[in-house]
Structure 1
Amino acid sequence: MALNPAQAEAVAHRGAPLIVLAGAGTGKTRVITHRVASLLEEGIPPWRILAVTFTNRAAREMQGRIAALCGAVAGLDEMWVGTFHAIGAKILRRHADRMGLSSSFAIYDRDDQLQVMRRAIRDAGYDPKFHPPGAMLGHVDRAKQRGLGPEQAGRLDLPEPVAAAFAEVYAAYQARLAAAEAVDFGDLLRLPVELLRGASGGGQLGDLDPLARLRHRFLHVVVDEYQDTNPIQAELVELLAEGAELCVVGDDDQAIYGWRGADVAQILSFPRRHADAKMVRLEQNYRSTGHILRCADAIIAKNAGRLGKTLYCEAGDGEKVRVVRCLDERDEAAFVARDVAALLDRGVPATEIAVFYRTHAQSRVLEQELRNLHVPTRIYGGLSFFARAEIKDILAYLVLVVQPHSDAHMV
């Protein structure tokens, strides 16, 4: 399928920063992969291109699509394609010595971090009962999302006496990570940014500094889902794009991760931070029908501060959207179950029917009502394989083999 005019414009733009406002179902992944393929066809070496995504799955899909379009290009595996954390880990492992780490440092997951935090709270002279590890880790996460180390903990503006305790606990937490030659996920972004900030400037010294060269390694940087970036991720992009043409792709209308530190201001302020930036809007939707798009637009149009776009499609109006008022959650679940059963009776395959809910707490009553009507169901997003206790035990032993100083895995 050929690119539509807006997609083609985004793929072909050169010479200045580019922001692509990509509404849901408008083919943004297609634009990103074709843009990268176009750069490769123009002779840009793969090692001088960086593409950043938010999930490992998206990174694998992007690599696969680019390979399908440009499989004959030599050195394709030298192109950097990965998540923010994967890119940060690659930089940190290459320059770990500058942070007092070995290149084989461990990366602690949430459970590991909680173990370390409990000990850090006691190290700092506090009681975990009054300063819960989970809450303290939440403060650490917010600090690292803003690029703040222990010495800058006061800039979180926490109320007293939490602020004073947190500053000491944060320092003790980082000390324990360092002693174990470990980092957490926040460090995979904060520490590379610290390294790149401190890289030598221009001139001969800059030419000798590998981190300074890294800041000018890339000629083109492409970032997906830019609306979900937090301040430290946005700074990492800017540092790596110092000598590059920067292309960010996102949708301010789909900014839903504020609870984990994402800041929609990053995409909203991009045109102001890059005054010469070109803005391309992808508005032709290939996923929905007219009624759905108009309903969605009528709701989102009320948001303040949008960069703005109007989605349309060529698939016709389709069925009208139904809005149903129910008495309570059980009445709602019974209505959904009856609707699903009716669709199955009409011959609609079960694999073509999906029920979305906001939180897993809502699934129990839905499962019960569907079971009452003998409707088979499959729940997605439950306990993952790697979250099982026996698997975590095996992984802990393997980490100890590679990193014997990792005391979080000796519990």
Structure 2
Amino acid sequence: MARRFVLKTDVEAVTRKLTIDYAGALNPQQYAAVTAPGGPVLVIAGAGTGKTRTLVYRVAYLVETGTPPEQIVLLTFTRRAAREMLARAAALLDGRCERVQGGTFHAFCAAILRRHAPRIGFPSTFSILDAADAADVLDVLRTAHGFHRAGKRFPRKKTLQALFSAAANRDRPLAALLEEAYPQFVDYLDDLETLRAAYVDYKKAHALMDYDDLLLRTLELFDTDDGVRRQVAGRCRHVLVDEYQDTNRLQAALVRRFASVHGNVMAVGDDAQSIYRFRGADFRNIFAFPEQFPGTRLLKLEQNYRSTKPILDLANHLLGFARRKYDKRLFTEREGGERPALVPAPDDRFESRFVAQMVLELREQGIPLNRMAVLFRSSHNTYDLEVELNRRNIPYVKYGGLKLSEAAHVKDVLAHLRVVENPNDAVAWHRILQLIDGIGP
């Protein structure tokens, strides 16, 4: 066998020529992450510790030290996040940073499949279904199989799309997922399995892929054609992954494939900030990273730039109760600030009245309403407070989810009340008729 020789980079010589003062611009923990040598690196970035800044400087550092930008992959959860990071890196260094392969998992996989889909039986011109399109296809198949008949409480199209997507992302059997999240549809398991198989066949026959397929089919491509895997992974000299705690099973598997040639992968995330389980995110991925990538270098970002010391003291105390965690302790140079207060509420009604009362008291102290915010775990938890705010004529803007008055079931009830008041209300009648089996969908 022929001997292979590799010319090693003189890191010290390269570092002396850098145009950016990385040590001066970053704190010691950020600097360690930005300048980490090749190989697998897991950066545990606490809230407000400059995670995005660290990734931006990492991109600039890799480009400045000689990595071709086209061989750097930055995977984020929104296209906007990737664009902003690369634009900041370009402003920091130069336009080369904008040639980095940056985007979402789905966009990156779509680009791969456009070149190689024929190897798994799809044309390169396949169409991509968004969630609404996928739901419409399922509705057509639902009707074709007779699952829509009156009197049958079969899941509607959006529920079907969410159910099949969750099964794919979580790698869960339909039976287990129904027991866990959709117990009202357990009796339809056989019909749902039939429908899912028909959905797969329909997409294949019509050259369609939904968002989940972009990940599934890319994995299929890599696992059935090792030449393609090596070719794609060979162009991924450095793989950077943002918000790793929010990756699902498929995304974590893809990261392993992307890094399978060079082995240079940096995952950035925080085990204490995983909030997207309902979308299929699996926080266990961040704990499994060192096992899946032997020799992982573990780094931490702990200096917080967002909060004051009393808030961080409380956060550190609460995080100490986590049964499974990476040990870290957030700290800040921002002293002072009010201590957080805990107000025990016996029920939702009390809680809503208390919050509304505090809003009015703060306004009396000269704090404008647009400088106040109420955070909720999920949008449906706002309904009691919305009723209370409306009762007290306190204007508000809701971000995420629908206002109470815009929720479908509330609009259904209001439609009935409107036709009682005005029998000529055609819009209300249309909504009511849509609810009647044999007339509506």
State TM-score, norm by structure 1. 0.82
Partner of 1:257: 276
Partner of 2:38: 15
Segment of structure 1 superposing worse, 163-172 or 64-73:
163-172
Q: One-letter code of the match for 2:29?
A: A
In structure 2, C-alpha distance between the alignment counterparts of 1:319 and 1:338, rounded to whole Å:
19
Residues 55 and 83 in structure 1, CA contact (< 8 A), matched pair in contact too: yes
Aligned residues: 372
Go from structure 1 to structure 2 and tell me whether the alpha carbon gap of 1:187 and 1:366 turns closer, same or farther (over 3 Å shift). same
Residue of 212, 215, 227 corresponding to 1:189: 215
In structure 2, C-alpha distance between the alignment counterparts of 1:226 and 1:256, rounded to whole Å:
12
Partner of 1:293: 312
Aligned-pair CA distance for 1:138: 4.2
Report which of the two structures shows the higher radius of gyration computed on alpha carbons. 2
SS of the aligned residue for 2:281 comes to: coil
State TM-score, norm by structure 2. 0.76
SS of the aligned residue for 2:295 comes to: coil
Structure 1, gaps ≥5 residues long: 201-205, 385-410
Residues 291 and 318 in structure 1, CA contact (< 8 A), matched pair in contact too: yes
Q: One-letter code of the match for 2:99?
A: E
Name the structure, 1 or 2, with higher relative contact order (CA <8 Å, separation 6+). Answer: 1
Could you list the per-position Cα deviations for residues 30-85 of structure 1 after superposition, in whole angstroms to 9, with x for gaps in the alignment?
A: 11110111001001111000000112332222122112112243xx4432111111
In structure 2, C-alpha distance between the alignment counterparts of 1:168 and 1:49, rounded to whole Å:
42
Go from structure 1 to structure 2 and tell me whether the alpha carbon gap of 1:355 and 1:181 turns closer, same or farther (over 3 Å shift). same
Partner of 1:225: 243
Could you list the per-position Cα deviations for residues 318-362 of structure 1 after superposition, in whole angstroms to 9, with x for gaps in the alignment?
A: 201111123432332222122222222323243321111233333
Q: Which runs of 4+ in 1 moved over 6 A?
A: 153-161
In structure 1, C-alpha distance between the alignment counterparts of 2:164 and 2:25, rounded to whole Å:
47
In structure 1, C-alpha distance between the alignment counterparts of 2:211 and 2:115, rounded to whole Å:
17
Q: One-letter code of the match for 1:145?
A: N
Segment of structure 1 superposing worse, 173-182 or 313-322:
173-182
Residues 197 and 239 in structure 1, CA contact (< 8 A), matched pair in contact too: no
RMSD of aligned alpha carbons? 2.8
Could you list the per-position Cα deviations for residues 391-410 of structure 1 after superposition, in whole angstroms to 9, with x for gaps in the alignment?
A: xxxxxxxxxxxxxxxxxxxx
Partner of 1:395: none
Aligned-pair CA distance for 1:260: 2.0
Partner of 2:365: 346
Partner of 2:130: 109
Match runs of 1:3-402 below 5 Å = 3-73=26-96, 76-121=97-142, 129=152, 131-133=154-156, 134=158, 136-145=160-169, 164-200=190-226, 206=227, 209=228, 211-244=229-262, 245-382=264-401
Segment of structure 1 superposing worse, 354-363 or 7-16:
354-363
SS of the aligned residue for 1:218 comes to: coil
Aligned-pair CA distance for 1:116: 1.9
- % of aligned pairs identical? 40
Aligned-pair CA distance for 1:312: 1.1
Segment of structure 1 superposing worse, 89-98 or 253-262:
89-98
Residues 121 and 172 in structure 1, CA contact (< 8 A), matched pair in contact too: no
Could you list the per-position Cα deviations for residues 356-377 of structure 1 after superposition, in whole angstroms to 9, with x for gaps in the alignment?
A: 1233333344234334555432
In structure 1, C-alpha distance between the alignment counterparts of 2:218 and 2:49, rounded to whole Å:
33
In structure 2, C-alpha distance between the alignment counterparts of 1:123 and 1:96, rounded to whole Å:
29
SS of the aligned residue for 1:21 comes to: strand
Go from structure 1 to structure 2 and tell me whether the alpha carbon gap of 1:127 and 1:374 turns closer, same or farther (over 3 Å shift). closer
Could you list the per-position Cα deviations for residues 118-158 of structure 1 after superposition, in whole angstroms to 9, with x for gaps in the alignment?
A: 3334556756735424554444223422569xxxx689697
